[in-house]
Structure formats: C-alpha cells, structure tokens
C-alpha cells in the first residue's frame, strides 16, 4: 500500500465516530471510556531535544495522548484546540502529549507549529510510528485518556474540540479525582 493511500485510509477512519457508548454519562463528545483502567504497553518517543521518553515519564499526571501527523487534515484542525487545552489545564497534574508520527520529525512539526501558532504544546516525536503500532491505533487523530497511574481510561478516534467547556470541565473533574504526583 502506498503511503498516500495509507494516509487517505487513516484520515478517513478518523472521521468515523466511535460506535460504542461511553461508560460514564458525563463523557464528552465521542470519548469512549473503558469499563476499567487498562494497562498500556511501553514504547519510546523523543522530545524536541532528542531525549528518549516513555509514558512512565508522565506518571502522576492525567495525560491526553494525541497521536497525529501534519499530513492528516483532521489532525491539523484539532491541534489548536489541544494547544488551548494545555494552556488552560497544563501543570503538575495534567499534560497534553501531542505525539507526531511524521517521518520527518522536527523538520515537519516545527514549521507546522509556527504556521498554526502552537505555543503551549511540547514537541513529541515518534517518526518510526512505534506508538501507533503498540497502542493499536488504526486512524488519525486518535487520543488516549491516561490516568495518573499510566493506565488507559478511554480513547477518542477522530478530531475533537478539546478546549470546549464540556471537555475541559470533564477533564478538570478527572484531574481532581486522581492522586497527585
């Protein structure tokens, strides 16, 4: 399958909302919550300085892990909302980890961040796509909601308005219920 065809399939899948109902009544948008927290496989990715990280580096925080790429149109549209979410909630108990799977790494991500005005998100890079494979991600964007213990609480396939009042209120309640760092 060519890369262009694969990109088209991934972006098309991202537009299909999740079919399963959320467990919690207050889960916003198309966020599908798991019945119980699920362990996540380890994988490595890099920050903008080239330092290797894993999900364990974010223990103690609620994490919104967003897998995205600059060539994915829905991803491009949702990135400013993730940036605003990080500006609103980012801190010792919460972080948006926007993980780019662009093969070009920083050479692809940096110009996009400048063009769109992303200022609150850190650059996290997975040019080999290890995270997508390890997490069973079939379309972009896909976002995992991870508790402070590093377990998956749920996921949302497709774009979302991450800075909406409904979403931020939901995430604030979730952060408040988690044990601190």
Is the CB of residue 24 less than 8 Å from the CB of residue 154?
no
Q: Given this model, what pLDDT does residue 20 score?
A: 34
Q: Is residue 33 pLDDT above 70, yes or no?
A: yes
The predicted model gives 12-20 an average pLDDT of: 40
Instruction: Please report the pLDDT score of residue 26 as a whole number.
Output: 62
Average pLDDT value over all residues in the chain: 88
Cα 2 to Cα 7, 9, 71, 106, 142, distances in angstroms: 9, 11, 14, 23, 21
- Is the per-residue pLDDT at 14 higher than 90? no
Are 40 and 155 in contact by the 8 Å Cβ rule? The answer is no
What's residue 22's pLDDT? 37
Closest CA to 126 of 145, 99, 144, 104: 99
Judge whether residue 158 has pLDDT over 90. Answer: yes
Q: Is the dihedral of CA 168, 171, 173, 178 positive or negative?
A: negative
Question: Is pLDDT of 88 > 60?
Answer: yes
Q: What is the pLDDT of residue 109?
A: 97
Q: What is the C-alpha to C-alpha distance for residues 53 and 67, in angstroms, rounded to an integer?
A: 15
pLDDT surpasses 80 at 49: yes
pLDDT of residue 100: 98
Q: Please give the Cα distance from 113 to 117 (Å, whole number).
A: 6
The separation between the first and the last C-alpha atoms of the chain, rounded to the nearest angstrom, is: 44
Q: Is the pLDDT of residue 97 over 90?
A: yes
In this predicted structure, the answer to whether residue 54 has a pLDDT above a threshold of 60 is yes
Taking CA 91 as the corner, what is the angle to CA 118 and CA 148, rounded to the nearest 5 degrees?
A: 115
- pLDDT tens-digit map of 101-153: 999 999 999 999 999 999 999 999 999 999 999 999 999 999 999 999 999 99
User: Of the given ranges (17-21, 55-59, 114-118, 157-161), which has the lowest mean pLDDT?
Assistant: 17-21
Domains of the chain (ranges; CATH) run: 3-16+26-177 (3.40.30.10)
Q: What is the distance, to the nearest Å, from the Cα of residue 48 to the centroid of all Cα atoms in its chain? A: 17
């Amino acid at each position: 399958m060519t890369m262009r065809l694969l990109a088209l399939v991934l972006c098309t899948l991202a537009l299909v909302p999740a079919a399963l109902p959320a467990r919690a009544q207050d889960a916003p948008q198309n966020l599908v919550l798991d019945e119980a927290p699920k362990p996540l496989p380890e994988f490595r990715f890099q920050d903008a300085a080239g330092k290797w990280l894993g999900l364990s580096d974010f223990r103690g925080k609620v994490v919104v892990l967003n897998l995205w790429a600059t060539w994915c149109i829905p991803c491009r549209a949702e990135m400013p909302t993730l940036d605003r979410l990080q500006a609103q909630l980012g801190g010792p108990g919460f972080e948006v980890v926007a993980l780019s799977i662009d093969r070009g790494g920083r050479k692809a991500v940096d110009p996009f961040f400048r063009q769109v005005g992303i200022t609150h998100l850190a650059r996290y890079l997975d040019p080999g796509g290890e995270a997508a494979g390890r997490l069973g991600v079939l379309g972009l964007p896909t976002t995992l909601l991870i508790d402070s213990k590093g377990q998956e609480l749920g996921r949302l396939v497709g774009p979302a308005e991450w800075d909406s009042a409904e979403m931020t209120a939901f995430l604030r309640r979730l952060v408040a219920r988690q044990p601190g760092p």
